[in-house]
């Protein structure tokens, strides 16, 4: 069957039905996309409830495997954890129909994107790397998105018809991902440093002095508000962020440098996520009002060891 010319008539496949996949499902459905399928690794397990509930609310047909998703979809959007980037491409490639699109949304290194592209293009699909340049929830489907690879120029205007805010970065694979990963070293590293710095300051009772000094040095940042947001995102998504930072470390290594900062950031993000998994930082999804509450929870958890 030929690929419809108008992307609004495409069958969209969502590989990964977590936070990003659900937002895309909602916004694509709201824009009039009629056929949306999805697959998530949680299906069939004890954590599948929210996946099934959300898919039912938004008329997303869940399938039993990535291979089945590839058979159906005109465009697959892969939005999984960074470590699964190549595995998802590998699972989809044998079943992907000729000339169908595979958009890799994942925060992975240039090397991982090149591996994934070889799998998809080798089976007659069209792989495009996507680099999501900031947090998805505030922007939703309009999150700034850089595209890369030899097929990216053709897909860019089609994605924008679907409601995305996509821009061409380069026809060369890896450029968009290098941009994203280099940014992540700074942003995710800042998250880890703020949590470490302010929790330490809280332990010594000097947080007011530290915040005053930061405000003097960087007057354009509301450090209380920013810190609360950083704690929130890491508590909710620390495991995913840690995987992204391991890919960032791989990106640094691919450039010929030792990834000291990226590796340390991954460790701090993972450490906070583990505390959250143990129920020591409150409900994952509670709205954080003040970073001090979470800093105190972290300190209490360490003292109880």
| In the block, residue with structure tokens 């354009």 | 220
- Average of per-residue pLDDT across 285-295: 93
Q: State how far the alpha carbon of 202 is from the alpha carbons of 150, 206, 230, 231, 286, in Å.
A: 50, 6, 16, 14, 21
Per-residue confidence band for 218, with pLDDT thresholds at 50, 70 and 90: very high
- Average of per-residue pLDDT across 211-220: 97
Cα gap 149→87, rounded to integer Å: 19
**Listed range (15-24, 71-80, 173-182, 283-292) with the worst mean pLDDT:** 283-292
Is the pLDDT confidence value at 158 over 70? Answer: yes
pLDDT digits (tens, 9 = 90+) for 64-96: 999 999 999 999 999 999 999 999 999 999 999
Question: What sections of the chain are H helices per DSSP?
Answer: 19-30, 49-57, 66-72, 85-92, 110-122, 136-139, 152-161, 175-204, 207-217, 223-254, 260-277, 291-303
Per-residue confidence band for 4, with pLDDT thresholds at 50, 70 and 90: confident
Picking from 152, 192, 193, 179, the residue whose alpha carbon sits closest to that of residue 255 is 179
User: Looking at the domain covering 7-173, what would its CATH class be?
Assistant: alpha beta
Cα gap 242→263, rounded to integer Å: 9
pLDDT value of residue 1:
64
Cα 133–Cα 79–Cα 162 angle in degrees, nearest 5: 75
pLDDT value of residue 302:
87
pLDDT value of residue 262:
98
| In the block, residue with structure tokens 């949590």 | 195
- Average of per-residue pLDDT across 127-143: 96
Eight-class DSSP state of 18: S
Per-residue confidence band for 305, with pLDDT thresholds at 50, 70 and 90: low
pLDDT digits (tens, 9 = 90+) for 262-280: 999 999 999 999 999 999 9
Is the pLDDT confidence value at 164 over 70? Answer: yes
Per-residue confidence band for 188, with pLDDT thresholds at 50, 70 and 90: very high
Is the pLDDT confidence value at 284 over 90? Answer: no
CATH of 177-303, one of 1.10.1040.10, 3.30.1330.60, 3.40.190.10, 1.25.10.10: 1.10.1040.10
- Average of per-residue pLDDT across 43-72: 95
35-39 vs 165-170, strand pairing mode: unpaired
Report pTM. 0.89
Is the pLDDT confidence value at 2 over 80? Answer: no
Structure tokens at 143: 């999150």
Neighbour count for residue 52 (Cβ, 10 Å):
14
- Average of per-residue pLDDT across 127-138: 95
Q: Which residues contact 284 (CB under 8 A, 6 or more apart)?
A: 235, 236, 276
Picking from 114, 87, 119, 112, the residue whose alpha carbon sits closest to that of residue 250 is 112
Is the pLDDT confidence value at 111 over 80? Answer: yes
Secondary structure class of 39 (helix, strand, coil): strand
pLDDT value of residue 286:
87
Domains in the chain: boundaries: 7-173, 177-303
Cα gap 225→290, rounded to integer Å: 8
């Amino acid at each position: 069957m030929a690929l419809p010319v108008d992307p609004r008539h495409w069958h969209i496949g969502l590989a990964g039905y977590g936070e990003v996949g659900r937002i895309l499902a909602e916004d694509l459905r709201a824009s009039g996309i009629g056929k949306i399928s999805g697959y998530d690794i949680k299906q069939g397990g004890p954590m599948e409830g929210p996946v099934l509930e959300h898919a039912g609310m938004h008329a997303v047909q869940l399938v039993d495997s990535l291979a089945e998703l590839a058979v159906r979809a005109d465009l697959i959007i892969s939005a999984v954890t960074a470590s699964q980037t190549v595995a998802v491409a590998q699972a989809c490639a044998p079943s992907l129909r000729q000339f169908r699109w595979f958009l890799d949304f994942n925060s992975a290194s240039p090397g991982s994107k090149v591996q994934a592209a070889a799998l998809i293009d080798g089976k007659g699909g069209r792989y495009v790397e996507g680099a999501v340049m900031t947090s998805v929830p505030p922007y939703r489907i309009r999150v700034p998105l850089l595209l890369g690879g030899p097929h990216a120029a053709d897909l860019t205007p089609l994605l924008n018809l679907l409601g995305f805010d996509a821009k061409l970065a380069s026809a060369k694979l890896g450029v968009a991902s290098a941009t994203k990963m280099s940014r992540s070293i700074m942003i995710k590293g800042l998250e880890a440093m703020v949590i470490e710095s302010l929790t330490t300051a809280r332990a010594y009772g000097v947080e007011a002095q530290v915040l005053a000094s930061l405000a003097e040095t960087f007057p354009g940042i509301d450090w209380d508000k920013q810190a609360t947001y950083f704690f929130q995102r890491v508590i909710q998504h620390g495991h995913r962020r840690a995987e992204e930072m391991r890919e960032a470390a791989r990106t640094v290594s691919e450039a010929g440098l030792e990834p000291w900062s990226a590796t340390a950031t991954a460790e701090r993000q993972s450490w906070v996520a583990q505390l959250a998994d143990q129920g020591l930082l409150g409900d994952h999804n509670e709205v954080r009002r003040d970073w001090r509450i979470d800093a105190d929870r972290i300190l209490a958890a360490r003292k109880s060891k």
